[in-house]
Amino acid sequence: WLEPLSSGASWIHGFLVAHVDQVMGDIAQVVAQSPYRHLVTPGGKRMSVAMTNCGSEGWVSDRAGYRYQAIDPLTTQPWPAMPVRLLALAQQAAADSGYQGFAPSVCLINHYVPGARMGLHQDKDESNLTAPIVSFSLGLPATFIWGGWQRTGKTQRIMLRHGDAVVWGGEDRLRFHGVAPLHEGKHAVTGRARVNITFRQTR
Ligand code: MD3
Ligand code: FE
C-alpha cells in the first residue's frame, strides 16, 4: 500500500514483493559485469557501502569529487545497460506516486553488510533536480533517516524493509537523508546484506 510521507514523497510498502526473483536476477547480471566496489570520498575515506551502477551513466566518487559518468572506472567499459524490467518497475513506482514520464538514466545499486551506513547527505549531483528519485530496498531492514533542507534540525526515521519502494520528488527531493548502521542479520533472499537501488534522471 502507498503511504504518503510528505507532499512530494511516498512509501510503497511491499511494492517489489511479486518481482523479487526478477529484480535479484537483474542485479546479479549487472554485478557480474560491473562488480560492487567501495568508492573513496573526495576527502579520502573509503565508503562502508559498496556500489555499482547500470544505465547510460553511473554515480562515482573519488579524490576528484562526486559525478556521473558513462564509463565504469573499474572496468573502463560502459556501465551495463539498465534492465528493461527494472526500468519499468521504477517508472510504475514513480507513476503510482504521481510522477508521470520518469525517464531515469542511472540506476545506482548500494550493497550494505552489517555495520555499513550512509551519513546524512543531499542528492544534488543531478543537473535535473525536478525529477524524482525512486528507491527500492531488498534484504535486511534498515533505519532510513530523513531530515529537512539543512544538515542540522529535526530528523525522522522509518524502517525500510525487503520489497519497499520510496519515491522522493517535489520539495522533498533535496532533503538531507542517510541510513543508520545496518544491524546484524541474515535474510532468505540476500543473506547477510541489504541492497538498495536508486533510479535517477540526471537531465
Ligand atoms: C530522500 N541511498 O544512494 S535510498 C543514495 O538506502 C541514498 O541506500 C539510501 O541515499 C539507501 O544517495 C537511501 C532513499 C532515498 C534516495 C534518495 C533521496 C531517499 C532520498 C533523495 C532525496 C531525499
Ligand atoms: Fe542519497
Rounded-to-integer distance, Cα 151 and Cα 130, Å: 21
Domain boundaries, the chain: 2-200
pTM for the model? 0.98
From 1.20.910.10, 3.30.70.360, 3.40.50.10310, 2.60.120.590, which CATH number describes the 2-200 domain?
2.60.120.590
Q: What is the pLDDT along the chain (203 residues), one digit of tens a residue?
A: 999 999 999 999 999 999 999 999 999 999 999 999 999 999 999 999 999 999 999 999 999 999 999 999 999 999 999 999 999 999 999 999 999 999 999 999 999 999 999 999 999 999 999 999 999 999 999 999 999 999 999 999 999 999 999 999 999 999 999 999 999 999 999 999 999 999 999 99
Residue 184 in grid coordinates: 546484524
| Structure ipTM over 0.95, yes or no | yes
Residue 67 is labelled as binding a ligand: yes
Query: What atom in ligand 1 is closest to the CA of residue 174?
Result: 22
179 Cβ below 6 A of ligand 1? yes
Residue 161 is labelled as binding a ligand: no
Task: Give how far the C-alpha of residue 161 lies from the chain's centroid of Cα atoms, to the nearest Å.
Answer: 14
59 Cβ below 6 A of ligand 1? no
Residue 38 is labelled as binding a ligand: no
Q: Looking up cell 512509501, which residue turns up?
A: 11
Which protein residue has the closest C-alpha to ligand 1 atom 22? 173
Q: 3-state DSSP call for residue 61?
A: strand
| Residue in 110, 143, 173 to alter for ligand 1 test, most ligand atoms within 8 A of Cβ | 110
